Amino acid sequence: MRYTINRTAALTAPDADWDRPQWQTAETLAITHFPWADSGHRPRVQVRVLYDERALGLIFRVEDRYVRAVAERFQDGVCTDSCVEFFVAPITGSQAYFNFEVNCGGTMLLHRCPSPEERDQGRNTENVSDEDGATIQMATTLPKIVEPEIAEPTTWAVEYHVPFALFAKYFGSQTPTPGCEWLGNFYKCGDQTSHPHWGSWAPVDTPRPNFHQPNFYKPLIFA
């Protein structure tokens, strides 16, 4: 299992439009693994990723129900809302990673999570600063707050662009070039919606829902 990240000349400013011509040049992956006991809700989730010389761009499209968003500040706990997530390790030979967690209203939580070796050396999880978080461009099709929950079938999308400078600051990573390989996984959750659920792109073999599992990350290849 692997995903190829295609290059584009220049990412257009995010607008959360899944049908934008630029996104038609990206491969589409699906979040289809729901291994844990939950409410039985199975949203249809698709993801596309592109990059240019400056940034990594992602768009998620979710055919959902029981949609909710109450977290509204950067670094709020968004996983309890209707949420999509992207965990990525950008350094060859290291399991240190970013966990991009975004609810349907566009609120993000973002930490730098240490590798086991770094943790043994005393390095802890780091919150990305508000200043650095503000460098990430974000767009969504839903308002920032979705409350009460929308029980009817609802399709929503979020798009965000992450400057490679942010990866460089927190990991010392180089801007990827064709052939470069990162590792990662993509997720969907809604811990405190009326119908909790936990899904992933690459299978995660744990007894309970836990997305912080870099051993199960799969290759992301820059084309």
171 in a structural domain: yes
Give the tokens for residue 51: 């990059």
Q: Is residue 75 left, alpha or beta, with left meaning phi > 0 and alpha meaning psi from -120 to 50?
A: left
28 in a structural domain: no
Contact present, 6 and 14 (Cβ < 8 Å): no
215 in a structural domain: yes
> What is the count of structural domains for the chain?
1
Q: Structural domain of residue 185, as residue ranges?
A: 3-8+38-222
Q: What is the pLDDT of residue 37?
A: 85
25 in a structural domain: no
- Nearest CA among 88, 106, 112, 103 for reference residue 169: 112
90 in a structural domain: yes
3-state class (DSSP) for residue 77: coil
Q: What is the pLDDT of residue 204?
A: 97
31 in a structural domain: no
Contact present, 68 and 146 (Cβ < 8 Å): yes
122 in a structural domain: yes
Q: What is the pLDDT of residue 221?
A: 98
Per-position pLDDT tens, the chain of length 223: 999 999 999 999 999 999 999 999 999 999 999 999 899 999 999 999 999 999 999 999 999 999 999 999 999 999 999 999 999 999 999 999 999 999 999 999 999 999 989 889 999 999 999 999 999 999 999 999 999 999 999 999 999 999 999 999 999 999 999 999 999 999 999 999 999 999 999 999 999 999 999 999 999 999 9
Q: How far apart are CA 160 and CA 157, in angstroms?
A: 10
Q: What is the pLDDT of residue 121?
A: 94
Q: What is the pLDDT of residue 19?
A: 98
Q: What is the pLDDT of residue 216?
A: 97
Q: Tell me, what CATH number does 45's domain have?
A: 2.60.40.1190
